[in-house]
Chains A and B, each alone.
Chain A
Amino acid sequence: MQKRRKLGRGVAVVGAGMSKFGMYKDKDSKYLFAEAFNEMLSSVDKGVDPNDIDALYLGNFTNDFFINQGHWGPIISDLIGLTPKPSTRTEGACAASALAFREGVFAIASGFYDMVLVGGVEEMSKRSTEEVAEGLAMAAIPYEKRVGFTFPGVFGATATAYFAKYGATREHLMNVTIKSHNNARFNPKAQFNASIRDIMDQRIKRCKERGEPVPAWRDEKEFLRDIAANPVVAWPMHLYDCCPISDGASCMLLVAEEMAKNFTDNPLYVVGIGQGSGKGMHAKDELTYFEATRYAAKEAYELSGLKPEDIQIAEVHDCFSIAELIHIEDLGFFKPGEGYKAVEEGLTRLDGPKPINTSGGLKCKGHPVGATGTGQLLEIWKQLRGEAGERQVPIKDLRIGAAHNLGGTGGTCTFTILEKR
């Protein structure tokens, strides 16, 4: 049974920044976070004195495993001059920094702090692909690992269940990929800052330069059907259904609502925030939805008094293409089983009535696990403030956006709603 909730004090976002996500040989977590922090500082319209930050909440999945280093809270606070302010790490697999955001909101709502820095960081590229896969698999549940499931595997199984129940096919997954890449083309911070068309053109050009046979793809779908270009990872998950391995950092500055105008005339208010948890695949009633998402969404909608139709733009956790289809249903944007049709009709495109993942999503923007949560919220920040450049959605009176962040295979979910007034 879910209780009705309310927060003691309002909270607003007054700054946000992120590093470009990508795979970096010579940049480490500290450097990437410093980049994100710098960008956040310049994003605060009326300026801010970092000495006024009361605390840091930092999301990180497992730099412990990826780069053999733990206790990141104090390391980052030392880097950006916050010591001895309290610095705490949150973890919920891929929802790590959304959890940092959530705890930061509570911390201000409780009256305890007035200004909190929240964010996340992850450095995955220093390990081999197999080792990273091992690291990611740790976020699934033990039973799944023991029978050989990998991350892509769990979502592959979810996809086969979805196909069987609703009649969708791989082609519908491809629509998600194509749409997200079209958006990422306009996102300079994205790891894959290119549309599928751009990628095809680059390949064709390279083949011509090398005197190799030129592929005959007539459109994006043919490219994605080509096993040489888009090999299987865990059927039906192919390479282009999966988000990449990335390094990156992101952060946001939260303040008490009554102080927000001291920092900007365009703060974004946190009007809804929800979190839920979920079980492993075998224990779920149904594989075609995530219990944690529905619980989190319900909490956020109730807190805000809003409904799914009020959300004008959203970033959802497309760790795999199938996930995007399920999330837009679980969040109530489309009925169960209708998500794939909505995408097919173009309703979730940049210029559609319900733009989803205008940043390019995790697929194209990248998924440095700990940094994703606040990275998604940053896209909403930019869109609501009209600062998304070429990928700005053309919706008139854009005021309400949301970010959905899923941890692991659905063990954790957060849903956060921001409002521009």
Chain B
Amino acid sequence: MVHKKRKLGRDVAVVGAGISKFGVHPREVRTTDLFVEAFTELKASVDKGIQAEDIDAFYLGNLSSDIFEKQIHIAPATANSVGLIPKPAVRFEDACAASGVAFREAIIAIASGIYDIVLVGGTEKMTNLPTPEVTETLAINSDPIIEFPAGFTFPGLYATIATAHMAKYGTTVEDFMRVGIKNHNNGGLNPKAHFNSSIKDIMKRRAASAVEKGLPEPHWADEMEFLHDPGQNAVVAWPMRLFDCSTICDGASCVLLVAQDIAKNFTDAPVSVIGTGQASGYPLSERDDMTSIKASKEAAQEAYEMAGVGPADIKIAEVHDCFTIAEILAMEDLGFFKPGEAVKAIRDGATALDGALPINTDGGLKAKGHPIGASGVGMIVEIFKQLRGEAGPRQVKGKDLSIALTHNVGAHGTTVVVHVFERR
């Protein structure tokens, strides 16, 4: 692809962020209710305050409210829930990259001069439907002619990538598990996470619960043994097991994006957006290399070029770990590690909270949860908090966190959107 170097007519910055608790919410709780929760947190996070009337537009990412909630056209309804009518409200969708793309479009809109202040959000309420129907609703974002009829689900498509990666690089099932363990360690420090627990905590609870039920107390020597126990960690699509898969849950997230030149009206600590990249990709069978998501590379290249940085400059990142294999691919596709070498970095703890390049400090999609539409902006919320030193017990310490990256993938890589942020 002929790569044009891109530049924006106007700079933009994030000045507020909020996120609801991710998890299984009761049926009567709608995406609009979760959005109000996220927006309430966002308002409190804007240091010098924000009123709804000051917001020029609302950009929303959502995958399938039509199927999950039997409600479509939710951008105006969501805008209404936080008092934004009659401002423009629009919904974007690019499978699981829905809100990452909404964020990008908000950047573009502000840069065009049409708006100064845009609220960007993401929502999803997945738990109203039983699992097989959720599986199908997700699966229809794959190719309709060749992938869905072949019985592929999303765990299945990523599992296929995983078997290819294992064959090419010797990646093991334990490597996938290590990613899950690391993310759960982080999730255990995140009160908004769906699984606000490390694997060790989960093991303790399961053991205690077995004893309560009068069953023999299970003993697992360590997390690996627990994750190898088919009674605790069943296969979903081999080699992806339950703990390799991000969770079906509900949630909402939002950030406030403004033109850089007015950012100081809202906070003395804005997080600037210095790069954005987006690319589309082919179905799995049409890719030259099944062990890499080419659209990630292309989106990252556009974002890095715009930002004038390279992978080595990124100090902290949120990547799209819809499945543990996806985090491994992201580490390679984003240029943090060479192809086939991400697993070594994981084994060495390089991406842990105290590692050289902390990845998914909020627990990732695995522990935090993956309410699809909310995930893209959810990553940006974490970066906002980390770069401003507001991430509490999971704050990355002792490092200069000036430059960060978020990576949001749609489906198995048919859309990827990457953003680079800087705390100046």
Contacts and interface: CB of A to CB of B under 8 A. Distances in A.
Query: A and B touching (C-beta < 8 Å)?
Result: yes
A70 B95 contact: yes
Determine which residue in B66, B73, B92, B140 has the highest number of CB atoms from chain A within 10 A of its CB, and name it: B73
B112 A107 contact: yes
B170 to A, nearest CB: 29
A246 B95 CA distance: 25
A374 interface: no
A141 B94 contact: no
Interface string A45-87: 0000001001100000110110111110111011000111111
B72 A139 contact: yes
B91 to A, nearest CB: 5
Nearest to A85: B280
A9 B105 CA distance: 16
Given A71-B93, A85-B279, A111-B7, A291 B73 contact: no
Interface of B: 1-2, 4, 6-10, 30, 53, 56-58, 63-64, 66-67, 70-73, 75-77, 79-80, 84-95, 101, 105, 108-116, 137, 140-144, 278-283, 294-295, 298, 410-411, 414-415, 417
B73 A6 contact: no
A192 interface: no
B280 A87 contact: yes
7 contacts: A91-B75, A91-B92, A107-B108, A112-B9, A113-B6, A277-B84, A278-B86
Contacts of B70: 134, 138
Nearest to B30: A142
A106 interface: yes
A57 to B, nearest CB: 9
A187 to B, nearest CB: 28
A260 B85 CA distance: 35
Contacts of B6: 112-113
A405 to B, nearest CB: 12
Contacts of B4: 54
A135 interface: yes
A278 B76 contact: yes
Given A111-B7, A138-B73, 12 more contacts: A64-B66, A65-B67, A71-B140, A71-B142, A83-B280, A84-B298, A92-B90, A138-B66, A142-B30, A277-B89, A296-B88, A412-B89
B380 to A, nearest CB: 17
Contact of B109 (A77, A110, A292): A110
Given A7-B114, A106-B114, A88 B71 contact: no
Interface of A: 1, 3, 5-9, 51, 54-55, 61-62, 64-65, 67-71, 73-75, 77-78, 82-93, 99, 102-103, 105-113, 134-135, 138-142, 275-279, 283, 291-292, 294-296, 407-408, 411-412
Counting from the closest, the 6 A-B pairs by CB-CB distance are A411-B76, A110-B111, A275-B88, A86-B278, A109-B112, A93-B73
A112 B8 contact: yes
A68 B66 CA distance: 11
B281 A275 contact: no
A291 B89 CA distance: 13
Given A71-B415, A74-B415, A112-B111, A407 B93 contact: no
A109 B66 contact: no
Given A111-B111, A408-B73, A71 B56 contact: no
Contact of B66 (A99, A111, A135, A296): A135
Contact of B77 (A88, A108, A141, A275): A141
B64 A70 contact: yes
A291 B280 contact: no
Given A82-B280, A83-B280, A138-B70, A277 B93 contact: no
A356 B39 CA distance: 41
Contact of A278 (B85, B94, B137, B144): B85
Contacts of A55: 278
Nearest to B136: A68
A8 B294 contact: no
